[in-house]
Chains A and B, each alone.
Chain A
Amino acid sequence: MRSSVACMIELEGLTKRYGGKLAVDNLTFTVRPGVVTGFLGPNGAGKSTTMRMMLGLDRPTAGDVRIDGRHYDRLTDPLKYIGALLDAKAVHGGRSAHNHLLCLAQSNGIPARRVHEVLDAVGLTAVARKKAKGFSYGMGQRLGIAAALLGDPQILMFDEPVNGLDPEGIHWIRHLMKSLAAQGRTVFVSSHLMSEMALTADHLVVIGQGRLLADTSMAGFIAQNSRSYVRIRTPQRERLLDVLHEAGITAVESGSGVLEIDGGKPERIGELAAQHHIVLHELSPQQASLEEAFMQLTAESVEYHAHTDTPARPWGADWQKGD
C-alpha cells in the first residue's frame, strides 16, 4: 500500500530557460492528495512547460520535480503512478482508440481489460474501433482522459481539460475531477480561467511569466482577493469628499465623476450625505469578481497585452503624412 504522502508532486526551484527567455522561473510548490489543485496563469505563463517537466518530457534547466519522492524516469510503469492529459491531439490519427490505449497499456504491463473499462468510463466504447483522426475535439479529449485513467493512478494531471468541450463535456469533466479527488487521489489541473477554477479547485497555484504568484487554498484566495467597495455618483463631488474626509473615510476617484470607497458601508455613507444635504445619484455596494482579482494579480506578468489603453490609429497614418 502506498501512503498518502507518497502521491504528492514536489517541485523545488524548477526552472526552464529557452535561449535567453525564462519560461519557468524557480517554482517551488507541492501538490497534495485528496483535493483538486488548480494551476492558474495567463496564456504563456509556463503552465504546459511545467507540466511537461513533471512528466520528464522536457529537461529542467535547474531544479527538480519528484513524484512519489522519485524522478519521473525512475518510476517503474509510470502510468500506474501518474496519468496525464497534456494534449488531446497527441495520438496517431490512423490508429483506433482501442489500439491506442492497448499499446499504452502493454508498455506498462496493464491488463488489456483495463482498456475496455476506461473506454466505457469515458463513453467511447461505441467508437473504440474507429480511427482517432475521425474524432471530434471533445472525443479526442475523452480519449486522452481514458489514457490518463488507464493505470488507475493515484496522481492525475490535466492540461486545460475543458478547452473545446461542449457544456455537457465540461460538466462531466468537472464532476470527474472532483470525484477523483474525493477518492483521495492527487488531481492537478491547469487553466487560464479563474471562473473555471472557482468551480472545481480546492487549492490554487497561480503563476505568471513562470514565477509563483500565489499558493493558497481557494477559500483563502477568495477572502483575500474579492475586494468589496461602495460606488458613489454625486453632482456635489467636492463637498462630499470634504464630508468623507472629516469622517475619516478615504474615497478614490475612478474617472467620470465616480467615487469608490474600499470596504465602506453604504448605510454610513448614505446617512452622512443626508446629514449634509448632499444629493447622491448612485450609492451601490460592489464586489470585484475573482476574475478581476486574478487579472490584478497577474497584471504585471501578462506577456501579451492587448493594449486597449492606446487608441488605435488608422493604418499607415505615420508615413502618409509624407515628410
Chain B
Amino acid sequence: MSNATKSILLAGVGGQGILRASDILSQVMIEAGYDVKKSEVHGMAQRGGCVTSHVRYGKKVYSPIAKKEDVDILLSFEKLETLRYLNFMKPDGTIIINNTEIYPPSVNLGESKYPRNVVEEVTRHFNDVRVINASDIANQAGNMRTVNTAMLGALSVKLNIGIKIWEDVLHIAFPENVFKENLDAFNLGRNA
C-alpha cells in the first residue's frame, strides 16, 4: 500500500446519485484496508445545483477535500461539469465522463450556450480521458437510476481493488429487489 493519499472527485448535478456513489466508493476503500475521508456539501446546493464529492484514501488521511491540481481521478456525471473542476486535476490525472447533458437555467432561458466541444477541450489538456454512455447502460440494466453504479463500474477499471469487494459492498448498499440491476449496470460500466 502506497503512503500517499489518493483523491477521487465525483462531480455532477443534484439528483444523479453522486453522494450515494461516493458512499459506496468510500466503503469499498475501507474494505480494501485504507483510511478514508470523504466530503460534500448538502443543503441549499442540492436544489438542482452542482454537486461534488471528494473521496480521499491512503494509509492515514487528514483533509477530506483535495487541493487544486491534486485529484487523481475525476468521475464526471455530466459533460459540462467536467470543465468546472479541471483545475483540481493532476496533469497526468484520469477523467471519466458520462456523455449526458443537463442544461443549467441560463441555457434553458437562452441566455448562455451549452458548450458543444467539452470532450475536445478536456482531451486538449489531458491524455487519459474516457467517455461512457452511462444513461444507455442504466437503460440496458433496466433501471434509469443505476447511472451512478454504471459510473462506478467504469471507475473500478482504474482502481486496483478486487472485484469481490465491489460486489460485496454493492450487495450491502442496495436492497435485494434492485441489487441485480445495479450489479448489471456496474458490470456493463466496467466493460464499457
- The reply to whether chain A is a binding partner of chain B is no
- Residues of chain A at the chain B interface (Cβ within 8 Å): none
| B interface, CB within 8 angstroms of A | none
